[in-house]
Amino acid sequence: MTIPIQPLSDRVLVKPIDPSKVTKGGIHIPAIADADALARRGTVLAVGQGAPLPDGAWRAMSVSAGDVVFYGKFSGIGLDVPGEGQCLVMREDDILARATDPSEGTPPDPG
Long-range CB contacts (within 8 A, 24+) of 107-111: 107/17, 107/18, 107/19, 107/20, 108/21, 108/22, 110/22, 110/26, 110/28
Q: How far apart are CA 88 and CA 78, in angstroms?
A: 4
Q: How far apart are CA 7 and CA 111, in angstroms?
A: 37
Nearest to 46 by CA among 80, 103, 90, 86: 90
- pTM score of the predicted model: 0.77
Q: Report the half-sphere exposure of 39 (CA within 13 A, side-chain side).
A: 12
Q: What is the residue-averaged pLDDT of the chain?
A: 83
pLDDT, one tens digit per residue, over 24-70 is 777 766 655 555 566 789 999 999 999 989 998 999 999 999 999 99
